[in-house]
């Protein structure tokens, strides 16, 4: 992809929100949202926000032979989510370096009440899908992430 705009230093901290609700298949045997689903919620929010907020869909990355690999994920649980509850996933870029983006997140129940359910961060490495090796984040991505 060739975008003619010159890359700016990314604005760290712009927050974006995606809304979801807990589905029956999100629950574990104890009727709690399974721990792995929180990472799924974060990934769904990032896919939504990449296209809607940054203007660069995952398909655009893939058409340029690029993809994001989750290299590290940490989460601190505060309160559980239950069936049918509505929640929001708020994300923001904490750092960008060479081939890596660190994204902070919060998952907050929005109905029937408002409560922080968890917070954490995920580190993504941009890879070349052909070589399967890390690659420097191109200027067109840095420009898109500079909002």
Question: 16-144: what fold?
Answer: Thiol Ester Dehydrase; Chain A (3.10.129)
Is pLDDT larger for residue 65 or for residue 144? 65
**pLDDT (average), residues 73-77:** 97
Q: Is 124 exposed, middle or buried (0-12, 13-18, 19+ CB in 10 A)?
A: buried
Domain ranges, ordered by start, for the chain: 16-144
Whether pTM exceeds 0.95: no
On average, the pLDDT of the chain sits at 91
pLDDT of residue 7: 45
- Please tell me the distance from the alpha carbon of residue 71 to that of residue 64, in angstroms, as a whole number: 21
Residues 6+ apart with CB under 8 A from 51: 57, 58
Question: Taking 70 as the threshold, does the pLDDT of residue 9 lie above it?
Answer: no
Q: Which DSSP symbol is given to 60?
A: H
**pLDDT (average), residues 2-6:** 43
Q: Tell me the HSE value of 15 on the side-chain side, using a 13 A CA sphere.
A: 8
């Amino acid at each position: 992809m060739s975008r003619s705009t010159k890359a700016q230093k990314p604005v760290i901290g712009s927050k974006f929100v995606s809304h979801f609700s807990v589905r029956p298949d999100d629950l574990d045997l104890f009727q709690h949202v399974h721990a792995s689903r929180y990472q799924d919620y974060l990934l769904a929010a990032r896919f939504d926000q990449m296209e809607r907020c940054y203007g660069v869909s995952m398909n655009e990355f893939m058409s340029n032979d690029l993809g994001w690999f989750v290299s590290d994920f940490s989460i601190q649980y505060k309160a559980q989510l239950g069936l049918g509850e509505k929640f929001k996933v708020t994300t923001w870029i904490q750092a960008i370096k060479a081939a890596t983006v660190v994204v902070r997140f919060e998952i907050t129940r929005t109905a029937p009440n408002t409560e922080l359910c968890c917070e954490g961060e995920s580190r993504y490495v941009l890879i070349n899908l052909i070589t399967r090796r890390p690659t420097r984040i191109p200027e067109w991505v840095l420009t898109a992430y500079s909002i």
